[in-house]
Amino acid sequence: MKALTRYALLCSTVATLSACAGSGMDTNALLDSGTKVAQAATLTDADMRTLTAQSCQQMDAKSQIAPAGSTYVKRLNNISKGLPTEIAGQPLNFKVYQTKDVNAWAMANGCVRVYSGLMDMMTDDEVRAVLGHEIGHVALGHSRKAAQTAYGVAAARGAVGALGNSTVSALSKSQLADFGEQFVNAQFSQKQESQADDYSFDLLKQKGYNPQALVSSFQKLATLDGGKSSIMSSHPSSTDRAKHIQQRIANGK
């Protein structure tokens, strides 16, 4: 990350803390929190892999994972055959969370999770298209930025400590859980979502799958109540995204 970007983040943090100083809040605590937020922008790739690996492990521990041999796992094994086996040197590992929630996400360490609620409403091709989109966020660097933001939010809340040479690897289970929740609920920009959509579209075409499944997956997501679906609350209009992919199909590229 460029020094100017780190400087801008730090200045923004200091400005916020200064504004709070006159409100009777503990400025020492705020300044400490501000330092942690600024440090989040300097997380290295190694920090990110460690942080996401441990956070994913904690997310798995508190979730109901579909057992081997279940219908969900058999379906996911078949679906994942059409997806990359690694991203940026990190092997991908897939699991199903048994929950009625409709969601899917991927982390920088190669952790890919899909919720059974999403699998229940979609065909195999549609699930593959959604997972291609989530993997795209990792491949395009969006997940790294989201993880930095998630760490910064957790730091501002006092949920994680200041960064040191071993701090990331020494976070408690509750701190890792807080980071994981912040990451899963992180919002990507409209541009990032469009880029991840295009990544999935290109992947499906390259692997010989019908990209129309990406369109139909968006159409199904568009029918959901945004307040009940995590994947909808953090994504732009599914209808618009379906139209974009349909246009690419019509154009043949």
Identity of residue 86? E
Are 62 and 181 contacting, i.e. CB atoms less than 8 angstroms apart?
no
What rounded mean pLDDT belongs to the chain?
78
Report how far apart, in Å, the C-alpha atoms of 110 and of each of 95, 143, 148, 209 are: 11, 11, 17, 22
| Total-model pTM | 0.77
What is residue 65's three-state secondary structure?
Answer: strand
Tell the residue number behind the tokens 């690897």, with chain if given: 169
Rounded to whole angstroms, the Cα distance separating 28 from 97 reads 41
Which parts of the chain register pLDDT below 70?
1-42, 154-171, 225-236
pLDDT of res. 1? 37
Rounded to whole angstroms, the Cα distance separating 220 from 74 reads 23
Q: Where are the domains of the chain?
A: 1-16+25-42, 45-251
Closest alpha carbon to 204 in 133, 129, 135: 129
Are 159 and 179 contacting, i.e. CB atoms less than 8 angstroms apart?
yes
Q: What is the pLDDT of residues 138-162, one digit of tens each?
A: 999 888 888 777 777 766 666 555 4
Are 234 and 185 contacting, i.e. CB atoms less than 8 angstroms apart?
yes
Catalytic: 193? no
pLDDT of res. 234? 54
Output the furthest CA–CA distance in the chain (Å, rounded): 61
Rounded to whole angstroms, the Cα distance separating 180 from 56 reads 7
Phi, psi of 220 (to 5 degrees): -70, -40
Catalytic residue among 86, 126, 134, 193: 134
